[in-house]
Amino acid sequence: MSTSKITVVIATRNRATELARTLTELCALRPRPAIVVLDNASDDNTADTAETFPGVHVVRLADNRGAAARNLGVAIARTPYVAFSDDDSWWASDALAEAERILDSYPQVGLIAGRTLVGSEHRDDPVNELMADSPLGHDPDLPGPSVLGFLACAAIVRKEAYAQAAGFSPLLHFGAEERLLSLDLAARGWHLCYVPTVRAHHHPSTHRPPQAWRRRAEQRNNALITWMRRPLRHCAAESLDLVRRIVREPQTLLTVAQIVQRLPKALAQRRPLPPEIETRARTLELAHTRS
């Protein structure tokens, strides 16, 4: 029997029912990948549920590390590649084998952004079209369009590349964490590509933070990422825009307060992007503005 070169890493919190379905689907894959579950200090039976699945490595964390919990899972992995799943997502039967083949064939690719199919109807997540039509183009020497973003529940990384980029940032906790990792991978010379033949199934949990909370977290983290990686003139322009927004959206004041609280740590980690990657980031922003 062949052995998978991929470990699946899942960060979870208080979603025992959803996690059970995900692990059932992942354990049925052939060849079966190694699976690592990081429990972010759940106060329900999520970790106990994961431990009922033979061969699944469960780590109980004493605190909620958010998306950065995945870093420990990658460190534990003994395979050259790591696929991320959420507790409400899993990989199609042929996805990991296809990802393994591509990563073996394209050593310059650090991350594959797969196609996300939502719900029992297998609807395309809107992000799929954005990545397929990426303004960064499709180099014929790469397996798909170049991207500077991805959905974590549909991504497979090269462990070496992930380690060089230092993984997901603990400072961000949750929200837009993929954006910073994308920039850091590209800054270290790795390519990120959208490959639609690598498919992930996402059945969004009904136990989700309120949309307003998610929006504030993403707004906060996008501002912090700008201060950590973008030119200072860009930082100043975005900050001014946020302050002006307070007048028409008073709730933005809470976001600004959170940014100010975290800004010293963000500035301590400031590493402006190489000119080529900054140009790509700007290209994506201009395309988004036009659309």
Would you list the domain boundaries of the chain? 6-202, 211-289
* Class for the domain spanning 6-202: alpha beta
pLDDT greater than 70 at residue 247: yes
pLDDT tens for residues 27-60? 999 999 999 999 999 999 999 999 999 999 999 9
pLDDT exceeds cutoff 60 at 143: yes
Q: Average pLDDT in the 271-282 region? A: 98
pLDDT band at 285; cut points 50, 70, 90:
very high
Tokens 């009904």, residue? Answer: 206
Quick one: CA torsion of 225, 228, 233, 237, rounded to 10 degrees? Answer: 30
pLDDT at 207: 84
Contacts of 237 (CB under 8 A, 6+ apart): none
Is residue 203 within 8 Å of 117, Cβ to Cβ?
Answer: no
Looking at the predicted structure, is the pLDDT value of residue 291 above 80?
no
pLDDT higher than 80, residue 2: no
Closest to 109 in 3D by CA, of 78, 139, 73: 139
- Predicted structure pTM score: 0.96
Please give the average per-residue pLDDT across 102-130, as a whole number: 98
Those residues whose C-beta lies under 8 Å from the C-beta of residue 175, and which sit 6 or more positions away, are: 214, 217, 218, 220, 221
* Cα distances (angstroms) measured from residue 5 to each of 55, 74, 119, 227: 16, 13, 28, 37
* C-alpha angle 200-118-43 in degrees, rounded to nearest 5: 80
pLDDT at 1: 53
pLDDT at 176: 96
Instruction: Enter the tokens of residue 276.
Output: 């080529």
Task: Please tell me the distance from the alpha carbon of residue 10 to that of residue 258, in angstroms, as a whole number.
Answer: 27
